[in-house]
Amino acid sequence: MKTPFNTALIHAIWRHLRPWAMFAIVFVVLRITGALSGVSYFTSSALMKTGILDAAAAPPAVMKTFDYNFNIKDLEGHVIDFNQFKGKTIFLNMWATWCGPCRVEMPGIDELYKKVKDNDKIVFVMLSLDKRENFTKVVNFTKEKGYAFPVYVPSGYLPEQLQVPSIPTTLVINSEGKIVSKETGTTNYDTPKFKKFLENL
């Protein structure tokens, strides 16, 4: 049985919870419709233009040993043993077609790649974490955008270091197999300072 006290209490609680409830409803709707990715895309785009998302000139060293023991697959379906990249400086970016912040930083990564692609000591690995059944979507996305950098997908198991909780995540591995940089979130890598950082490893 409802009493005036209970009714007043319920109304008081609802007044406090209503803003959060509305936020939750909007979030769920955006998530279901796919619009959340678009919101993240435009927010990240705006921040990118300010320069505050530029990669650090000398990213903090992580210095963990990288695990090369896994395979990736290129967009033509060829399986590649990651061990073949040992001895190189590796720019490894984990992304997905549905990830708005990932898409924002891609043009800058592509420009950086074009500037260093003739350096045989540097390797770029753009690793899509889309679901396996979305391989064709990854291929079509890459063709549509016309990016020059090489795109890959996992071919089986990925080491724990690459099982990241959020994307985009970028690792830089030096020629000695040490992770010397890890960036999470939209980042502008197309800067003279970051290019110099890569070339000096």
CA angle 197/105/139 to nearest 5° reads: 115
Task: Report the distance separating Cα 131 and Cα 153, nearest Å.
Answer: 9
Task: Report the distance separating Cα 67 and Cα 177, nearest Å.
Answer: 8
- State the fold for domain 64-199: Glutaredoxin (3.40.30)
Q: What is the pTM of this model?
A: 0.74
Residue 152 pLDDT > 70, yes or no? yes
* 1 or 158, higher pLDDT: 158
Q: Tally the C-alpha atoms within 13 A of residue 41's C-alpha that lie toward its C-beta.
A: 14
Per-residue model confidence (pLDDT) at position 55: 65
Per-residue model confidence (pLDDT) at position 63: 75
Q: Strand 79-81: give its sheet, edge to edge.
A: 64-65, 178-184, 169-173, 89-95, 122-128, 151-154, 71-74, 79-81
Region 145-151 average pLDDT: 98
Tens-place pLDDT, residues 155-177 = 999 999 999 999 999 999 999 99
Question: 144 phi and psi, to 5 degrees?
Answer: -60, -40
Show Cβ contacts of residue 110 under 8 Å, excluding neighbours closer than 6 positions: 147, 148, 149
Domain chopping of the chain, boundaries:
4-50, 64-199
Helix pair 100-116, 35-50: axis angle to 10 deg: 50
Region 60-79 average pLDDT: 90
